[in-house]
């Protein structure tokens, strides 16, 4: 199979690419990004693009079965709410439209815990709006993942997330019962869950909450430990 990854230079996108490269199910992994990943592999084809002109790169969606949309930013990094909406809402929706036109079967996107189009919180509202539109995009399979705080090394330091990650790591042993659904997770866990779901080829729109992602993204070592 062939897969296409958007946002491969981000924390989750990079892990998704690595997971796909390890998988025998995929013979070619295409990456569209705004800067080089710095990764080389016989199965990897990387193309640097301007997401403002995403439609000009529609040819790269051709022949692809699974598209992994890992685009995302922060308001601080984007510079404004308008620019944040462009990255987290507009680009994914344009990618979904191109995917449908090019016959892509599975569209897998990173959303967020708390995504709700009616939320008073701007971040959650934008994520919810994106989910809402993706759900009616006409694609055969739409898979929306709602992780809690993601753990891993980012290229850009985010103090609030770093502080939150430090706290969540300490609290993790206590996150049981009802609190389990809020557990932070390594980005690699989310990536494994996304690749696992993609290979099922399941039709329809599906939303995966944080606790379900933890289960889907278990590594073999985790399963043995349990």
pLDDT at 167 over 90: no
Mean pLDDT of all residues in 5-18: 95
Q: What is the pLDDT of residues 16-40, one digit of tens each?
A: 999 999 999 999 999 999 999 989 9
Residue 12 DSSP SS3: helix
Q: Report percent pLDDT > 90 for the chain.
A: 75
Query: Do 138 and 201 touch, CB atoms closer than 8 A?
Result: no
In whole numbers, what is the pLDDT of the chain averaged over residues?
A: 87
For residue 173, name the pLDDT band (cuts at 50, 70, 90): low
Pick from 55-64, 95-104, 135-144, 161-170: least confident: 161-170
Identify the helix (H) or strand (E) that includes residue 20: helix 11-22
pLDDT score recorded for residue 65: 96
For residue 220, name the pLDDT band (cuts at 50, 70, 90): low
pLDDT at 150 over 60: yes
Burial annotation 22-41 (CB, 10 A radius, 16+ → b, else e): ebeebeebbbbbeeebeeee
């Amino acid at each position: 199979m062939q897969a296409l990854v958007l946002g491969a230079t981000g924390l989750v996108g990079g892990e998704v690419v690595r997971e796909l490269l390890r998988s025998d199910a995929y013979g070619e992994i295409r990456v569209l990004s705004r800067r080089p990943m710095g990764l080389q592999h016989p199965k990897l084809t990387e193309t640097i693009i301007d997401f403002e002109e995403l439609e000009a790169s529609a040819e790269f969606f051709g022949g692809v079965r699974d598209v992994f949309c890992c685009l995302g930013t922060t308001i601080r990094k984007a510079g404004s709410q308008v620019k944040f909406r462009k990255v987290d809402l507009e680009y994914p929706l344009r990618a979904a439209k191109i995917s449908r036109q090019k016959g892509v079967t599975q569209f897998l996107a990173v959303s967020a815990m708390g995504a709700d189009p009616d939320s008073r919180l701007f971040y959650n509202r934008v994520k919810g709006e994106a989910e809402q539109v993706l759900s009616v995009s006409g694609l055969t399979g739409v898979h929306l993942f709602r992780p809690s705080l993601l753990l891993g090394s980012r290229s850009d330091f985010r103090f609030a997330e770093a502080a939150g990650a430090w706290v969540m790591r300490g609290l993790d042993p206590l996150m049981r019962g009802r609190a389990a659904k809020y557990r932070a997770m390594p980005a690699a866990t989310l990536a494994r869950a996304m690749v696992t779901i993609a290979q099922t080829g399941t039709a329809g729109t599906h939303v995966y909450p944080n606790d379900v992602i933890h289960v889907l993204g278990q590594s073999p070592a985790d399963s043995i430990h349990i």
